[in-house]
A = this chain, B = another copy of it.
Amino acid sequence: MQIVLDVFGGDNAPNKILDGGLQAVEACGGFELVLVGNKDIIENYLSDKEYDASRIIIVDAKTVITNDDVPTEAIRKKKDSSLCVAFDYLNNHPEAKAFVSAGSTGAVLTGAVLLLRRIRGINRPGLCPILPTQINGKNVLLIDCGANVEPKPINMEQFAIMGSAYADTMLGVKNPRVGLLSNGTEDKKGNSLNKEVFPLLKKNENINFVGNIEAREMLSGNIDVIVSDGFSGNVALKACEGTALVMFNMIKNGIMSGGIRSKLGYLFLKPVFKQIKKEMDYNDNGGAVFLGLEKIVVKSHGSSKAKTIKNSILQAKEAVDKHVVEKIAGYMQNVL
């Protein structure tokens, strides 16, 4: 199996991306890592590093797509970018099963949709981060969080199916509970899109639909898969992120302005804060999976450092090992 890494995507490219790649190779066997990007720079950086060269393939790509590029244009025009070359490589190498990038989200998603093959029957892939919940060790999936700003009802039904398959396979949750993100829990709540999606989810016997959920319930641990259009999902995700950040800042400010007593308290509670911060920094633990394609695509956060890249690669490896794509494809074959 090969995993393809976009060496030049992300704020900390290429060095931290390469470090993460090498760490993943060191930590886990069973795959070769395909490094895509400027070959000279990559070879130069690797020249004084120790690693198993038999597991590293370098594929040259002269340019980079940045956050300043318009995704659709860049994907069409920058054929020699690390991203486009990586997609080409994935298409031409059946043994290349997965792709990891910390590059521009828009470009990664656009490129994947335009250049990679979708699982038969899937109309639109969905971006699916794994979020923490207040129950220790329990996670929740959100699909979609931004790839499809205005999906059709059938797309959202497919998000539910793909999210369920992912929760089952990767999180080990049997019969995962699927909730539809809405503005209230009652069956009749929602905008007109949600009102069309609700009956589709309700009558689908392959998912465990528990009804509408409010954004209040997202991190409660009472739900396993949150289905949303990409716009509301993005709003929900970022509202959670922002609030967690604000709470940490408030605690910090309170401690700083609270005298010796508060500082002592902080010292005693430091392990607790550290643990919570670790749980809430879900971006560190890997990336969001772009589900619905024939390859596993993991979008790592733009600010990813080596550890995150390593985790994203291992996450991609696990998804391939656990046959996530085949599980989704198998289900879709049943309904086609």
Residue positions of A touching B, CB distance < 8 A: 133-134, 136, 146, 149-150, 181, 183-184, 190-192, 214-220, 230-232, 234-247, 249-251, 253-255, 258, 261-262, 264-273, 275-276, 279-280
Q: Which residue of B232, B238, B243 is within 8 Å of A231 (Cβ)?
A: B232
Q: Which 8 A-B pairs have the closest CB atoms?
A: A265-B268, A254-B272, A265-B269, A239-B239, A216-B242, A215-B239, A215-B238, A243-B243
Q: Can you sample 5 A-B contacts with CB below 8 Å?
A: A150-B191, A191-B231, A220-B242, A232-B232, A247-B276
With contacts A262-B268, A268-B262, A268-B268 known, is A241 near B255, CB below 8 A?
Answer: no
In the bound complex, CA of A271 to CA of B260 (Å): 13
Q: Which residue of B245, B261, B271 is within 8 Å of A268 (Cβ)?
A: B261
A276-B251 in contact (CB<8A): yes
User: Which DSSP category, helix, strand, loop or mixed, fits chain A's interface?
Assistant: helix
Residue of B nearest to A241 (CB): B216
Residue of B nearest to A248 (CB): B247
In the bound complex, CA of A218 to CA of B215 (Å): 15
Residue of B nearest to A275 (CB): B254
A262-B269 in contact (CB<8A): yes
Known pairs A235-B239, A265-B266 / 17 extra A-B pairs, C-beta < 8 Å: A183-B231, A191-B231, A215-B238, A215-B242, A218-B243, A220-B246, A235-B236, A239-B240, A240-B240, A240-B243, A247-B247, A255-B272, A262-B272, A264-B268, A265-B269, A266-B269, A269-B269
A272-B251 in contact (CB<8A): yes
Within the oligomer, what is the number of copies of this chain?
2
A236-B239 in contact (CB<8A): yes
Return A185 CB to nearest CB of chain B, in Å.
11
Determine the chain B residues whose CB is within 8 A of the CB of A247 once the complex forms: 243-244, 247, 276, 280
In the bound complex, CA of A329 to CA of B75 (Å): 50
Determine the chain B residues whose CB is within 8 A of the CB of A136 once the complex forms: 253
Return A43 CB to nearest CB of chain B, in Å.
36
Determine the chain B residues whose CB is within 8 A of the CB of A181 once the complex forms: 235
Determine the chain B residues whose CB is within 8 A of the CB of A236 once the complex forms: 215, 235-236, 239
Question: Which of the listed residues A192, A262, A269, A275 has the most CB atoms from chain B within 10 Å of its own CB?
Answer: A269
Determine the chain B residues whose CB is within 8 A of the CB of A271 once the complex forms: 254, 258, 262
Determine the chain B residues whose CB is within 8 A of the CB of A262 once the complex forms: 268-269, 271-272
Return A296 CB to nearest CB of chain B, in Å.
24
A250-B279 in contact (CB<8A): yes
Return A228 CB to nearest CB of chain B, in Å.
8
Determine the chain B residues whose CB is within 8 A of the CB of A150 once the complex forms: 191-192
A239-B243 in contact (CB<8A): yes
Determine the chain B residues whose CB is within 8 A of the CB of A275 once the complex forms: 254
In the bound complex, CA of A210 to CA of B15 (Å): 36
Determine the chain B residues whose CB is within 8 A of the CB of A255 once the complex forms: 269, 272
In the bound complex, CA of A231 to CA of B217 (Å): 16
Determine the chain B residues whose CB is within 8 A of the CB of A214 once the complex forms: 234, 238, 242
In the bound complex, CA of A220 to CA of B244 (Å): 11
